[in-house]
Amino acid sequence: MHYLLTGTAGFIGFHLARRLLEEGHRVTGFDGMTPYYNLRLKEARHAALAQFPAFRPVIGMLEDQRVLESTLEQGVPDVIIHLAAQAGVRYSLENPKAYLDSNLVGSWNVLELAKNAGVSHLMLASTSSVYGANDKIPFGESDKADEPLTFYAASKKAMELMAHSYSHLYRLPTTAFRFFTVYGPWGRPDMALFKFVKAMLEDEEIEIYGEGLMSRDFTYIDDLVSGIIALSRIAPNESNRVTAAGVCDTLSHQAPFRVVNIGGGQPVGLMDFVKTIEKVLGKPARRKMLPMQQGDVPRTYASPDLLMALTGRKPEIGLEEGVSAFIDWYVDHRAALQL
């Protein structure tokens, strides 16, 4: 199949593109190469993908509709997977316009592209942040998600709503998948695991927010990629509406549109996360305890029931295995990429 992926120089987009290429698919990768973090890391990801003859990169910003439309010059893709976004919860407090431009205007351009191309399935990367500080746990896809705590979360929820309208108006099969604290090799430098490992190897303090009382439903990157690919084969329609007892399907009654969590439903306390890193590295962390930052949520906790009902699987790679894989990658690449 031919996949169009946005964000292939990003953490998740790189891993997804590589898996699809390894499986023999053709991938057109669109990325803006923005300097939000270390460009060497982004360039190295694209260089690794360029080793596959079936990979075609297109460099441009989502806001530039003309450049985005150029991705169709070598054929209409079967599936579009929209991963590119301005990421980062805390950065949205400093530069909200970046989220408006990329996550709203850019995502609308992707909707227009998918509509005009008539693709068989559009997939959109959303986030657990849309649940805000929801008191009900685990977070189910049909739970209340209209009290975002950051503009990042608001932009992602708005993207979901825009996509539902396009799905209804143009009968565009669309899946929005919400992921939960993704980590692993080639990860983002602004994420906790990357920051903690870097600081510990350099004998610096690690900053632990929320006095260490927060918890996260960590998802290893390989599990997330497997979930995305499995869902890509299940374009929403009435024939695959889930009717299993105890599972609430989010398939819209107005459109071929569905929202699905990709998370394992096994939240880990922040201090247990730190202890796991200490165990794998074989050295203690110097801890600096700090209050919760503005926009942070106390916990994330996915219900994987709908994902299980649709695909027969959920994320299962354990934290110690995933942390070990990240540390091995980091040690091997820190010098070359100046991490």
Catalytic residues: 152
Rounded CA separation 155/209 (Å): 24
Q: Say which amino acid occupies 62.
A: L
Rounded CA separation 43/191 (Å): 19
Say if CB 168 and CB 179 are below 8 A apart: no
Q: Which of 123, 114, 120 is nearest to 72 (CA)?
A: 114
Percentages (nearest 5) of helix, strand, coil residues in the chain: 40, 15, 40
What residues form DSSP beta bridges with 309?
none
Say if CB 179 and CB 224 are below 8 A apart: yes
Question: Any idea what DSSP says for residue 247?
Answer: -
Q: Say which amino acid occupies 105.
A: V
Rounded CA separation 182/35 (Å): 21
CB-hemisphere CA count at 13 Å for 339? 27
What residues form DSSP beta bridges with 126?
178
Rounded CA separation 5/79 (Å): 9
181: left (phi over 0), alpha (psi -120 to 50) or beta: left
Tokens 């930052």 map to which residue? 293
Which residues have a Cβ under 8 Å from the Cβ of 228 and sit 6 or more positions away? 16, 81, 123, 177, 262
